Amino acid sequence: MSANSNSRETDPFRARLASGKPLLCDGAMGTMFYARGVFINRCYDELNLSEPQLVRDLHEEYLAAGAEVIETNTFGANSVRLKRFDLQSKVAQINTAGVHLARAAADLYREKHAHQALVAGSIGPLGAPAGSLNPDAMQAVYAEQAAALASAGVDLFLIETATSLAEALAAVHAAHASAPNVPVVAMITVTDSGSMADGTTPEQAVAALQDAGVVIVGCNCSDGPNLVLQTLERMRGSTTLPLAAMPNAGVPNCVDGRSIYLSSPEYLGSFARKAARLGALLVGGCCGTTPAHIKAMRSSLRAIQAQAEGLQATSTAPTAPPVEPAPLGQRSRLGARIASGEFVAMVEIVPPRGIDCSKELAGARLLRDMGVHAINVPDSPRASARMSAGSLCVQLERECGGEHGVETVLHFTCRDRNLLGIQSDLLGAASLGLRNVLCLTGDPPKMGSYPDATAVFDVDAVGLTRIARDLNHGLDLGGQPIGQSTGFVLACAANPGVPDLDAEVRRFAAKVEAGAEFAITQPVFDLHQLEDFLRRIESFRIPVVAGIWPLTSVKNALFMRNDLKVHMPDEIIDRMGRCTTPEASREEGVRIAQEMLAVVRDSVQGVQVSAPFGRYELAAKVMANVLSPPNTQEAQLAEHV
């Protein structure tokens, strides 16, 4: 393909953009070369000539992971950068080879999968000292590279990691001059200050690049996904052009002498969803990203597309008017307690790793006899492989429920189910009589013992809450009637101890708007954080149940602080550290939890106490002062129902 074969009416890139569906680009090449033993003192662009099979193999890996656009291995293939390796005379040869290798991989992929992948000509910064080249000189350098890329047949130019506006504009002008009909995408990179290295703001860059004729403007690299999203938000307010977003995998950390990028594939998958919702039509990865990251991003973008197509398919279909669910107090005994303002007591029982749940049933009987109102059942916490939460809930209610028994709160996550599975399992739960549901996003598989397991995450906790709310109104995913209300009492999670409380408050507000009727917090050890959170949500507050965890040892406390990133005050660490025996440690943990419960009781509507390592008696001890015999509970409750 030559540059002249492209036209504004027929080029495949513009045709794909016209569909409005995000295109997924590939990830880092340099990171992958380094992982395969190619040291950083090599010229990675020259590998197009000396190691062509390696380059092609990486292209094919990204295509297999789901990339729809692959970049040529030519990021630094301009004469200024190549001069460092005495390769400045091979600009045309290296760029041409880069296009041919990417095209060969794309053609093979099309033969196997009947799906076209596009080839983007990668053009990176010159790497010359600031001010050493005037605009004409910069444009001349870029023109040599752009001409070679266009002649070899790229579908688009991808100008990336621009640190100065002058260089970015020089590259855009050179690309247009070399091949007027090849579309140009330009992406800047920003520093922690939020601006380019030369001081240009994203708003200024957008205006100049749009005037220069690019078809997409965006941000890549920078200090990870969060900064790229912030930049996209600023760009969105200054242009109607589609956006491009390709972050690196976060700031690298030095681990055993190596630079390691710590942003997980799941985190990049979440980023892809957020970028697409901001209007990004070209999404991919930069430094530190791998085919695993691209695969996770592909899953996220497919989920967004599926939801959009589903909404479009049903938007013109007739829908039944929603039914009105029963009042909260009539849907479950827990709902009645919450509706009446009664203080509720819950304990968490984790499903077993096998099929024998006799220990869990015995614990539930103990808690029932102590007067606990509800048992929370997590859905494979920390991505562990366990009995399904729904199965344990049914067995607990069958064995320990009844008129004076306990109810369960089913933890329901988005990790393992697509949209169809979510609706199917929720309908099944309602049919089995499970009425209390805690809507959660779920821990990613990377946290668990099976890190290669595939996560779904078609929606997050907010989307899940909306789905359950609609089922409560008798409507399925497409707004079609299901006959009657599922009658769920819907709960959401909250975490008062996160570093970014502003973001947590915004997310909590979204959950309330989506239909959450009460909230359960993560374990809280700093009561000032809980008080601050409650104050911040006062204008849209729903009943809040505080999570409390009775520590069992100083090791347990340190694990929660260091591994789980739970805010653990030094005072608590010191108290647990002064214990000299396991029994003393457990007793001190119970005392700390009782003290916290005493303080928060008047400001929340209930407490959820965890049972560490299956020690249900510890949870019961924590709540001894707030529990009453079951017969007394029911007599009190009858007055409100």
| Residues of the binding site for Zn(2+) | 221, 286-287
Stated as kind and residue range, the H or E segment containing 243 is: strand 243-247
**Under a CB-based contact definition with an 8 Å cutoff, are residues 92 and 148 in contact?**
yes
Q: What are the two backbone dihedrals, phi and then psi, of residue 566, each rounded to the nearest 5 degrees?
A: -85, 135
> What is the distance between the alpha carbons of residues 55 and 50, in angstroms, rounded to a whole number?
10
Phi/psi-derived region of residue 515, left when phi > 0, alpha when psi is between -120 and 50, beta in every other case:
left
Rounded to the nearest 10°, the torsion over CA 545, 551, 555, 556 is: -40
CA distances from 174 to 138, 168, 179 (A): 9, 10, 9
Work out the burial of residue 307: count CB atoms within 10 Å of its CB; fewer than 13 is exposed, 13-18 middle, 19 or more buried.
Answer: middle
Contacts of 255 (CB under 8 A, 6+ apart): none
**Under a CB-based contact definition with an 8 Å cutoff, are residues 281 and 22 in contact?**
yes
Stated as kind and residue range, the H or E segment containing 348 is: strand 344-348
**Under a CB-based contact definition with an 8 Å cutoff, are residues 576 and 554 in contact?**
yes
**Under a CB-based contact definition with an 8 Å cutoff, are residues 7 and 265 in contact?**
no
Known binding-site positions: 221, 286-287
**Under a CB-based contact definition with an 8 Å cutoff, are residues 426 and 412 in contact?**
yes
CA distances from 125 to 429, 431, 476 (A): 56, 60, 51
- The angle that helices 91-113 and 52-65 make with each other, rounded to 10 degrees, is 40
Contacts of 630 (CB under 8 A, 6+ apart): 368, 369, 371, 404, 405
Stated as kind and residue range, the H or E segment containing 97 is: helix 91-113
Stated as kind and residue range, the H or E segment containing 229 is: helix 225-236
- The angle that helices 135-152 and 165-178 make with each other, rounded to 10 degrees, is 40
> What is the distance between the alpha carbons of residues 618 and 549, in angstroms, rounded to a whole number?
10
What 3-state DSSP class applies to 410?
Answer: strand
Read off the amino acid at residue 338.
I
